[in-house]
Structure 1
Amino acid sequence: MEHHWINLQVYSPLEIGFLLAGTVLWNVAYFIIIRNAIRFKKMEMPFLAVCSNIAWEFSWAFLLHTDLGELFQWGLRVWFFMDVAISYFTVRYGASQMKTDLFGKMFVPFMLILVIWWIPVFYFFETEGLDTKMGTTSAYLITVVMASLFVFNASRKAPGLIGTKSVAWFKFFGNLFMTIFVFLHHPDSHFLQLLTFAVFVLNIIYILQVSRGAKANQH
């Protein structure tokens, strides 16, 4: 079977455009998260979300094959290594997100167990026919969890959280463009559309939380 760099037989140029835009914006958000971790020695992304994210990206970068084309397959591999950096800083600073150190020296083994558990979950989710051929459903399932954790951390003013407006906005528009892709390419996938709606609402809540926090710090 011939592998194309971009699969324009299944996906329209418009769909590819929205997907690429969303991916680029999320990569910018990742870059800012990594930069902030280096600068402030704190991790903004919730550590539970980090575990599922790196497991998803490992699964789709190396174990499964997206039908979007080779450009996206290699993009997933690049994205995976960005998540490696985020995971490294999460190991160093992620425990500070908790008001009480629940895990102590077991924090890293706990994260590792979660990652190891998530990988076969994503693998079998696709191979048993529950996912799309580019992992959209599983990606949005964990994105709902991640967006909820961002909101949860911000609501309790977790000490390890840096609520930056730039990350909030980039991930909002990144998900928004991907949501448009979902409605264009999966018009009848109502379950998936409901997941995108949940992420949209949670991202707006997080933007409001971060904006209010920034205003409070100015006074």
Structure 2
Amino acid sequence: MVMQHLLPNQMELFLQYGLAIFWTVTYILIIIQGFKDRSCGMPIPAICANITWEFLFAFVMPFHPLQMIVSLVWLLLDCVILFQAVYFAKPEYPPRLLLPAIFSLLVIALLLHVGMIVEFHDQEGKYTAFGINLMMSLLFIKLPFKQGLQGQTIYIAYYKMIGTLCASVLCYSLYPDSILLLLLAVLTTAADIVYIVIVHRALHMTKGSNVQLAPTLRA
């Protein structure tokens, strides 16, 4: 696929910094809220997919100095989120079951990343990145029904969507002929909007009420 540049270089650089900043803030907010609520604000499959992608493009096949640094920062933050997932899940899932499951997910995610990179000749990891993003957005929609708003805030939802929009516009500027990337970007944005609506609705339902969120949403 031939790389194009529909937008000026300065605008593309602005979008690169935008996606890096907003996604970094998203991770930090997830960590802060996770420790506050003693919960994990990101689904484990998404964490494993993120960590393996970030490991690949921080250490194995970095394609740009800025991306390498950002990937390393994200990797460290995701490791903290993974720690939260393991630590706060102990009462519900024994470590002897949870740890092998996480290890299996990490291996599977890594193999899928490598397979897609080779199959699509994707040295920038764009297909896997947008695939992860769509999976994460869909899994985030399920979170309020599973654990209420534990580990989540409306700010996380908005920052995540803005970071994804920056990445989507940048990707379209570079690869306007890719129907697959366009579909992944549009579907991810739609899922992010649904998640924001769900979180807003959940906050409205719980305002002034002591009823637990998850049972209310299931009704």
Q: Distance in 2 between matches of 1:44 and 1:57?
A: 19
1:35-85 residue CA offsets vs partner (Å, 9 max, x unmatched): 11221111111111111111111111111122xx21221221121111111
Q: Which amino acid aligns with 1:112?
A: F
Q: Distance in 2 between matches of 1:70 and 1:105?
A: 39
Residue equivalent to 1:4: none
Q: Report the Cα offset of residue 163 of structure 1.
A: 3.2
Q: Distance in 2 between matches of 1:70 and 1:162?
A: 32
Q: Report the Cα offset of residue 136 of structure 1.
A: 1.2
Following superposition of structure 1 onto structure 2, how do residues 3-22 of structure 1 map, counting pairs within 5 Å?
Answer: 12-22=9-19
- 1:195 aligns with one of 180, 184, 197: 184
Aligned length: 202
Is the aligned partner of 1:205 residue 2:200? Answer: no
Is the aligned partner of 1:51 residue 2:48? Answer: yes
Residue equivalent to 2:31: 34
SS of alignment partner, residue 57 of structure 1: helix
Q: Which amino acid aligns with 1:24?
A: I
Residue equivalent to 1:138: 128
Q: Distance in 2 between matches of 1:94 and 1:198?
A: 30
Structure 2 residue ranges without an equivalent (≥5): 209-219
Q: Distance in 1 between matches of 2:133 and 2:101?
A: 21
Q: Report the Cα offset of residue 123 of structure 1.
A: 2.4
SS of alignment partner, residue 149 of structure 1: helix
Matched-pair contact (CA < 8 Å) for 1:64–1:123: no
**TM-score w.r.t. structure 2 length?**
0.84
Q: Distance in 2 between matches of 1:129 and 1:13?
A: 32
Q: Distance in 1 between matches of 2:169 and 2:81?
A: 27
Q: 1:23 to 1:102 in 2, by over 3 A?
A: same
- 1:116 aligns with one of 85, 88, 107: 107
1:110-131 residue CA offsets vs partner (Å, 9 max, x unmatched): 01111122113212322x2515
1:119-164 residue CA offsets vs partner (Å, 9 max, x unmatched): 13212322x251533211101111111110110222x242584331
Q: Distance in 2 between matches of 1:204 and 1:170?
A: 12
RMSD across aligned positions (CA): 2.1
Following superposition of structure 1 onto structure 2, how do residues 72-151 of structure 1 map, counting pairs within 5 Å?
Answer: 72-94=67-89, 101=92, 105-126=96-117, 128-130=118-120, 132-151=122-141
Q: 1:50 to 1:95 in 2, by over 3 A?
A: farther
Matched-pair contact (CA < 8 Å) for 2:30–2:151: no
Q: 1:14 to 1:159 in 2, by over 3 A?
A: closer
Q: Report the Cα offset of residue 12 of structure 1.
A: 2.6
The percentage of aligned residue pairs carrying the same residue is 24
Residue equivalent to 2:206: 217
